[in-house]
Structure 1
Amino acid sequence: LKVTFCVHPENEDWTCFEQSASLDIKSFFGFENTVEKIAMKQYTANIKRGKEVIEYYLNELIAEGITEIPRWVPPEKRALSKPAIVAGVSKRCARRLTERVVCCASNLSADKLDADYIERYLGQLTPMQESCLIRLRQWLQETHKGKIPKDEHILRFLRARDFNVDKAREMLCQSLTWRKQYQVDYILETWRPPAFLQEYYAGGWHFHDSEGRPLYILRLGQMDTKGLVKALGEEALLRHVLSINEEGQKRCEENTKIFGRPITSWTCLVDLEGLNMRHLWRPGVKALLRIIEVVEANYPETLGRLLIVRAPRVFPVLWTLVSPFINDNTRQKFLVYSGNNYQGVGGLVDYIDKEIIPDFLGGGCMCTVPEGGLVPKSLYQTEEALENSDHIKLWTETIYQSAHVFKGAPHEIVIEILEGSSVITWDFDILKGDLVFNIFHSKRSPQNSKKDPSASTPGVNNVQLIEKSWVLGVDYSMVESPLMCREGESIQGSHITRWPGLYILQWKVNGPAPVSGPALPRVDDVLASLQVSSHKCKVMYYTEVLASEDFRGSMTSLESCHSGFSQLSGGTTSSSQSQSSSLVSR
């Protein structure tokens, strides 16, 4: 923790009080960086408690009739200065902290907003909050090139930073730059969601809550979240989420006019019926956290209330995993109902008019929100296909990669392991053809990645790393038994590495397995090679390396709703010292 006092750069009669802190989390299930960010956000939110202390001593000074405080003079210069009159030692510290507050308050009356305007569009504001809004708006008018946001938009950022003008200005300027760079102001006019999204994305707007807030319904338990990520890609999914937030702000403005009072946030009703661990697989969590980070940075204070209904028994487990990534202010807006506790007094009727409760929750209002369902794997798109978009890219990378595999030309990726007992995890789908998945430990470093000549078509990814001159058992070794994968299957698993070095993950067309030394092919292998359904296969994959201490209990690569859970080996789940692994589950 570091506290700094300095003279304000724009007004030497003001004293700036700055407090900063640093936090380093060494182990948190592989999400250390995200936890650090959220912890710092929580620390920022707690600074308002310090503000209450400052206001307390400010009131003490006012009660004593003190309206001016002389500038503090260092001890070595104090003898040359006119002595200051102080009320006591404890008051001296308080006066240093409150000097800026007093000086700011003395300048509040220079400009005022119309009281009717505040009541009609902004809600209740203290004189200090009103002054902060005026100062930030004036600064934008003087320095910002481009469209100046509305007062209610500026106010959201001030509230998110507890009316610290400097921090709110920094956050707002970054957001305005982001909006201009990615043309977010025009997203409602330019974004055209794919047709299948309207069928499988189980979310939509549904009237308003009892306070006039726009109501958004999300039937999360009915959604194939994994299928949506693989069919849409993170880019399109984020763009769709942004369009929902933009639509929410637009509806807030409309409801403000309809109800004659300021409505600046919306309510979200989340139905968790059908939710289970398949909704939290590691790549999906990674994409979700990236989306949350973008939304929190650019749409602060837009969520008024989150109503969670029909929470299943598994929800406490999921909440334990997710809650560390949600700050205290947002968490206070959550109301969770398990089973049928949402019905009757004390349930949804306290927040949503009875005639508006959706029919699938026992109400009498017909809800047009889609029911979701499994996304057909035929809709899954490779990252090359997702790149063919006219939109300015919000993200420069995708979580899932894809590759074509040809007969005689496997696709291979190399992973460098620096410490033994690290865990290689994977999640891949066979979109076309039948493949064999292998993991090798290499004693040699691949020189240059080779691309199969038959894969010279633009956008086709096919990389070969194992040289034909390499000898299995000499230059590289197999660390897992080959896994046969059929078209349409989803494969998840992990491998605990025994040694540091280079590991090669290989997908090849189903055919004879490699042998070490001269040997005649088996009859079964010959028949298998003749029964290959296609000479061109396609795979979509995700890999990640975790330290062994981060892997135990972490959100690993879980199965999609197309199949059951991934089965991690006993060695993976019981002891990080074991060298067992898992190449299973479909």
Structure 2
Amino acid sequence: CAVKMVQKYQSPVRVYKYPFELVMAAYEKRFPTCPEIPVFLGSEILHESRSDDGAIHVIERSCKLNVDAPRLLKKARVEYVFFIQKNTVNWKERTLRIEAHNETFANRVVVLETCSYSVHPENEEWTCFEQSASLDIKSFFGFESTVEKIAMKQYTSNIKRGKEVIEHYLKELISQGITFIPRWTPPPVCGQKAERTPAVGRDAVDLPLESGARGVAKEQSGSSCPPAEAVSPDADKLDADYIERYLGQLTPMQESCLIRLRQWLQETHKGKIPKDEHILRFLRARDFNIDKAREMLCQSLSWRKQYQVDYILQSWRPPALLDEYYTGGWHYQDKDGRPLYILRLGQMDTKGLVKALGEESLLRHVLSINEEGQKRCEENTNAFGRPITSWTCLVDLEGLNMRHLWRPGVKALLRIIEVVEDNYPETLGRLLIVRAPRVFPVLWTLVSPFINENTRQKFLIYSGNNYQGPGGLVDYVDKGVIPDFLGGDCMCTVPEGGLVPKSLYQTEEEPETSDHIRLWTETIYHSASVLKGAPHEIVVEILEGESVITWDFDILKGDVVFSLFHSKRAPETSHKEATLPSTSAAGDNTQLIDKTWVLGVDYSRMESPLVCREGESIQGSHVTRWPGFYILQWKMHGPLPCSGTSLPRVDDVLASLQVSSHKCKLIYYYEVLASKDFRGSMSSLESCNSGFSQLSGATTSSSQSQSSSHLSR
């Protein structure tokens, strides 16, 4: 049985602040040999051609590499590895495309690499570089895993080295007085004086070049890293300088994971994607496993959308009771620039707050704190000139006693921890627990299993007065910021708390006051389950012909097919019996189209079926032509029926195996608008606020009017 292993890499956009022609001269200095790249032993030109006007130059080389796996190569009786590299430079368009593949072991391992150099779209004196590669290991004498590790390690180490080599040769050219190479011009017509096409490599230094004309002088003054908006070659792509400035130091493979997950989100979420630092948190939480991070992030985005968490900072106003008795608040920042949140948990009457306000209000308040924390991280990133992606929490446990172990209070705490862990991963940079009493180990035993291992490693616990002096708080928080109640000089405005008066407790008949928005029940979105053989359907009655039905839904689990039908007859509702445990809890399932109805007779199709994959966010609209009953249907997607002479497709078989428990889940919202009120093809359903206001960066969406039906991912 052959083992198949595939690895992919996608680089960010790297910007050289030099003209394209000068970068090309530096690039060609790598051939035929390059002492700066030890693994590159040499190259030989196999084929070379130029277009008649000299604008296009193609070189195909055989490149000889020394791989850092001598024992493995010896076993395979191979001394070196050979690659075929094809370079196509277009002097007119100022682009270079590099395509490379391995010649050695080609029947066992396939390595494909594509690189491109092009002019920066916003500054024609700068050059952009992008790189992508794939490693497909079919079989390698039982050493597939070893080959994969060696190949990826060597490849990623050479990525950084390749950039350094180009910069090395650029500096070498400049030291020789070569700072400008003229651009290509078309060949002269008869009678005109000839102008030379720019040459690279061995001929470049022989050109009559204008020393000091351009090049270094084009470097921006001041900061060597301009804002991302100035450097980013494309709003849909990430620039390497931007990543380092705003997201921090990432390995090449970590950069690749971020870019690939970001691209997937752009394709499936119609451009409304979270900010890069938010995507990166989910990747870190799943050790940069793209599939696991994508699953976690998609669940979180659907949760945010369903419960309108993006608008919590605008909509949530904590009750006066919380302002007085919730003993937490923001307090400057720690030594690393992280926002500092102080929580005097020992002084908080958790039982009183739960009884007076209920779990929902406390949960919503904690979510607003986390949203505020993300906002403060962004502000500090801009203020301190370095990436700040997490905050520090200082918890004072003085006063903690058995009263805090009240069962409903602990249950509420565990629920809050679970929600925060699922939706705000890697936001806590450090947790400093001070004045931990004897009862603390009991609480820790109850709580710690619900806290992620990565998060637990960020905890520092001090008992008694151990937090004072060297090794204590002063190692992490400036002395001038330590609160007065912990022996510091800084006045802290965090409420002191106290017991909540029992007169403020809610009665059993009034579990929560009506003015509190219930996080889990009050939502414009509905949840539904789609079972095998039991689609979920909703009916919309249209009384006037010219109306617009709009929809917005997210696929939480499985793949479904979405369709829109029209009928003159009113369908009868039937609910599918739950054939699996907890089906009803997962969402409703309603069927409207009667089994006896005939398509084309009793009802007709209004939109072509749309296959919607797990994790996708779909928005669309349909302009109705006739009155009647319109049925929106979500049906489980399965493999297409095969003809008698054909075998099932592998992709279809795998897809059918991946749908666990024969059940799909989705959340959806729909609305009917008068035609005159419709402002285009569902610009993120503006009427129901379904965007990502807090997490999204600037995105663009179509506002073009649609006179016909429109489905969009």
Q: What TM-score, normalized by structure 2, do the two folds share?
A: 0.43
Q: Any conservation in 2 of the 1:217–1:369 contact (CA below 8 Å)?
A: yes
Aligned ranges 1:95-174 → 2 under 5 Å = 95=147, 113-145=238-270, 147-174=272-299
Q: Any conservation in 2 of the 1:277–1:318 contact (CA below 8 Å)?
A: no
CA distance in 1, matches of 2:414, 2:448: 12
- Residue deviations 1:450-489 (CA, integer Å, cap 9, x gap): xxxxxxxxxxxxxxxxxxxxxxxxxxxxxxxxxxxxxxxx
Question: How far apart are 1:377 and its partner, in Å?
Answer: 1.1
Provide the residue aligned with 2:438 in structure 1: 313
CA distance in 2, matches of 1:337, 1:307: 8
Aligned residue pairs total 337
Question: How far apart are 1:63 and its partner, in Å?
Answer: 8.7
Partner of 1:14, secondary structure, is strand
Partner of 2:491, secondary structure, is coil
Aligned ranges 1:275-290 → 2 under 5 Å = 275-290=400-415
Provide the residue aligned with 2:330 in structure 1: 205
CA distance in 1, matches of 2:411, 2:317: 25
- Residue deviations 1:158-208 (CA, integer Å, cap 9, x gap): 111111111111111111111111111110110011101111110000000
CA distance in 2, matches of 1:274, 1:362: 16
Unaligned 5+ segments in structure 1 are 8-12, 17-57, 74-83, 398-586
Q: 1:135 to 1:199 in 2, by over 3 A?
A: same
Q: 1:354 to 1:6 in 2, by over 3 A?
A: same
Question: How far apart are 1:116 and its partner, in Å?
Answer: 2.2
Question: How far apart are 1:104 and its partner, in Å?
Answer: 10
Aligned ranges 1:154-233 → 2 under 5 Å = 154-233=279-358
Q: Any conservation in 1 of the 2:344–2:396 contact (CA below 8 Å)?
A: yes
Provide the residue aligned with 2:399 in structure 1: 274
CA distance in 1, matches of 2:297, 2:288: 12
Question: How far apart are 1:318 and its partner, in Å?
Answer: 2.9
CA distance in 2, matches of 1:72, 1:386: 66
Q: Any conservation in 1 of the 2:2–2:138 contact (CA below 8 Å)?
A: no
Q: 1:327 to 1:5 in 2, by over 3 A?
A: farther
Aligned ranges 1:362-381 → 2 under 5 Å = 362-381=487-506
- Residue deviations 1:300-335 (CA, integer Å, cap 9, x gap): 000000001111122233323333332321111011
Unaligned 5+ segments in structure 2 are 9-66, 74-79, 82-101, 110-136, 163-232, 523-713
- Residue deviations 1:253-307 (CA, integer Å, cap 9, x gap): 0101110000000000000001112212222222111111111111000000000
- Residue deviations 1:341-387 (CA, integer Å, cap 9, x gap): 11111110000000000000000000000001101111112465355
Provide the residue aligned with 1:236 in structure 2: 361
Partner of 1:119, secondary structure, is helix
Q: Any conservation in 2 of the 1:69–1:95 contact (CA below 8 Å)?
A: no
CA distance in 2, matches of 1:101, 1:165: 18
Q: Any conservation in 2 of the 1:161–1:168 contact (CA below 8 Å)?
A: yes
Q: Any conservation in 1 of the 2:332–2:340 contact (CA below 8 Å)?
A: yes
Q: 1:385 to 1:193 in 2, by over 3 A?
A: farther
Q: 1:382 to 1:85 in 2, by over 3 A?
A: closer
CA distance in 1, matches of 2:461, 2:322: 27
CA distance in 1, matches of 2:519, 2:71: 51
Kindly provide the amino acid, as one letter, of the partner of residue 14 in structure 1.
Answer: V
Which one has the bigger strand percentage? 2
Question: How far apart are 1:113 and its partner, in Å?
Answer: 3.6
Kindly provide the amino acid, as one letter, of the partner of residue 301 in structure 1.
Answer: E
Q: Any conservation in 2 of the 1:105–1:128 contact (CA below 8 Å)?
A: no
Q: Give the one of 269, 291, 301 matched to 2:426.
A: 301
Provide the residue aligned with 1:14 in structure 2: 6
Q: 1:388 to 1:170 in 2, by over 3 A?
A: same
CA distance in 2, matches of 1:373, 1:63: 69
Question: How far apart are 1:105 and its partner, in Å?
Answer: 10
CA distance in 1, matches of 2:259, 2:459: 32
Aligned ranges 1:227-266 → 2 under 5 Å = 227-266=352-391
Partner of 1:385, secondary structure, is coil
Provide the residue aligned with 2:587 in structure 1: none
Aligned ranges 1:326-405 → 2 under 5 Å = 326-382=451-507, 385-389=510-514, 393-395=518-520
Provide the residue aligned with 1:440 in structure 2: none
Q: What TM-score, normalized by structure 1, do the two folds share?
A: 0.52
Q: 1:70 to 1:188 in 2, by over 3 A?
A: same
CA distance in 1, matches of 2:159, 2:2: 21
**RMSD, aligned CA:** 3.6
Q: Any conservation in 2 of the 1:14–1:100 contact (CA below 8 Å)?
A: no
- Residue deviations 1:207-258 (CA, integer Å, cap 9, x gap): 0001100000000000111111111111111000000000000000010111
Q: Give the one of 94, 105, 128 matched to 2:146.
A: 94
Q: 1:101 to 1:145 in 2, by over 3 A?
A: farther
- Residue deviations 1:368-408 (CA, integer Å, cap 9, x gap): 000011011111124653555456532359xxxxxxxxxxx
Structure possessing the higher radius of gyration over alpha carbons? 2
Q: 1:174 to 1:69 in 2, by over 3 A?
A: farther
Deviates more, 1:378-387 or 1:171-180: 378-387
Q: 1:234 to 1:313 in 2, by over 3 A?
A: same
CA distance in 2, matches of 1:62, 1:133: 34
Partner of 2:146, secondary structure, is helix
CA distance in 2, matches of 1:267, 1:343: 18
Kindly provide the amino acid, as one letter, of the partner of residue 361 in structure 2.
Answer: A
- Residue deviations 1:2-35 (CA, integer Å, cap 9, x gap): xx9986xxxxx8379xxxxxxxxxxxxxxxxxxx
Partner of 1:337, secondary structure, is strand
Q: 1:139 to 1:100 in 2, by over 3 A?
A: farther
CA distance in 2, matches of 1:365, 1:151: 35
Q: Any conservation in 1 of the 2:327–2:348 contact (CA below 8 Å)?
A: yes
- Residue deviations 1:54-106 (CA, integer Å, cap 9, x gap): xxxx9748995666766779xxxxxxxxxx998764x2453478889999999
Partner of 2:330, secondary structure, is strand
CA distance in 1, matches of 2:422, 2:138: 46
Aligned ranges 1:74-89 → 2 under 5 Å = 89=142
Which one has the bigger helix percentage? 1
Kindly provide the amino acid, as one letter, of the partner of residue 94 in structure 1.
Answer: T
- The structure, 1 or 2, with the larger RCO (C-alpha pairs under 8 Å, 6+ apart) is 1
Q: Any conservation in 1 of the 2:307–2:520 contact (CA below 8 Å)?
A: no
- Residue deviations 1:90-131 (CA, integer Å, cap 9, x gap): x24534788899999999999974232122100001111111
Q: 1:295 to 1:86 in 2, by over 3 A?
A: closer
Q: Any conservation in 2 of the 1:14–1:99 contact (CA below 8 Å)?
A: no
CA distance in 2, matches of 1:317, 1:387: 30
CA distance in 2, matches of 1:5, 1:303: 44
